[in-house]
Structure formats: structure tokens, C-alpha cells
């Protein structure tokens, strides 16, 4: 859908701030909100020895539900429609793939505000998405006081 805004959600206050920006933009431009949570691939040779694929899948869905809860509760309370997607893999690639597959108009993502040095040392999903995405990306910096509360 060309009229979609992708909003990566990881359960942090930063992703909540991004969702509020996306909500504002979606109302003005009459666009759909697509919440995307990416879970890391944890099904390895060792996990397969102890857990079934369905157990791993159930666990990843549980983690995704927890990460999305605050945002979905807020949107449900406001009676705002949205779609949620759970993907498995490397967050930067999966967020960009979801946007590309949908032909999304925008990606609106939260920033942890670690700065360029710490972001490079520890990796920055927002920076990676900014460089890899084929559509415009809005990086939202939230209120640091609220984010650290």
C-alpha cells in the first residue's frame, strides 16, 4: 500500500514518540499506520536441540506482543486503526524490507539519541534504516526526561 507509514516498535519510549509523530502525519495525509516489530532470529542448531520451532515461534510472538503493547493499547483506546507485523531477522533489513514490499510512503522511527560515537560502537537501527531505506525516513528524537523515566 502506497499510503502506509511504517513505524518500527521495540517497546521503548523512543518508539512510542515515533508512533505519535506517525499518528499526527497519518491523520493529516490519510495514511495507514503499520507497526513493525522485529525479533532476532534465535532458532539455531542449539535451540533446535531443546525447543521445537513452534515453541521458538510462540516465544518470539510473546516478545513482540509485549513490545507492541503500550503502542497498541494507546491506539486501541483512541480507536485508531493500524496493522501490526512481526518479522524475524536483523532489524534494519527487516524494517526496510517491510517498507519496500508494501511500497510504503514513509518510515518513522525513534532514536535513542546515543550520538555518533556510541551509535557506531553499538549499532544504530535508526541510522541503518536511514541509509538502507528506499523511502523517506523521519527519525524522531523524544523527550530525554520522559524516555529515561
Q: Which of 9-18, 41-50, 106-115 has the highest mean pLDDT?
A: 9-18
Residue 85 pLDDT more than 50? yes
Q: Give the three-state DSSP class for 1.
A: coil
pTM for the predicted model, two decimal places: 0.85
Q: How many CB atoms lie within 10 A of CB 19?
A: 27
Measured CA to CA, the distance from residue 27 to residue 16 in angstroms comes to 17
Burial class of residue 4 (count of CB atoms within 10 Å of its CB; 0-12, 13-18, 19+): buried
Q: What digits encode the pLDDT tens for the residues 120-141?
A: 444 589 999 999 999 999 999 8
Q: Listing from the earlier edge strand, what are the strands of the sheet with 4-8?
A: 83-88, 32-39, 4-8, 106-111, 137-141
Measured CA to CA, the distance from residue 148 to residue 17 in angstroms comes to 13
Quick one: pLDDT band at residue 43, thresholds 50, 70, 90?
confident
Amino acid at each position: 500500500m502506497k499510503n502506509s507509514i511504517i513505524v518500527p516498535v521495540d517497546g521503548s519510549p523512543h518508539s512510542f514518540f515515533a508512533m505519535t509523530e506517525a499518528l499526527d502525519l497519518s491523520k493529516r495525509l490519510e495514511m495507514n499506520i503499520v507497526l513493525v516489530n522485529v525479533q532476532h532470529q534465535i532458532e539455531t542448531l542449539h535451540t533446535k536441540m531443546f525447543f521445537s520451532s513452534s515453541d521458538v515461534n510462540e516465544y518470539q510472538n510473546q516478545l513482540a506482543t509485549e513490545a507492541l503493547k503500550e503502542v497498541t493499547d494507546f491506539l486501541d483506546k483512541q480507536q485508531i486503526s493500524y496493522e501490526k507485523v512481526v518479522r524475524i531477522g536483523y532489524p534494519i533489513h527487516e524494517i526496510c524490507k517491510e517498507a519496500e514490499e508494501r511500497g510504503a510512503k514513509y518510515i518513522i522511527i525513534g532514536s535513542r539519541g546515543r550520538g555518533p560515537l556510541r551509535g557506531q560502537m553499538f549499532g544504530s537501527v535508526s541510522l541503518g534504516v536511514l541509509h538502507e531505506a528506499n523511502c523517506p525516513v523521519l527519525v524522531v528524537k523524544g523527550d530525554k526526561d520522559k524516555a529515561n523515566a
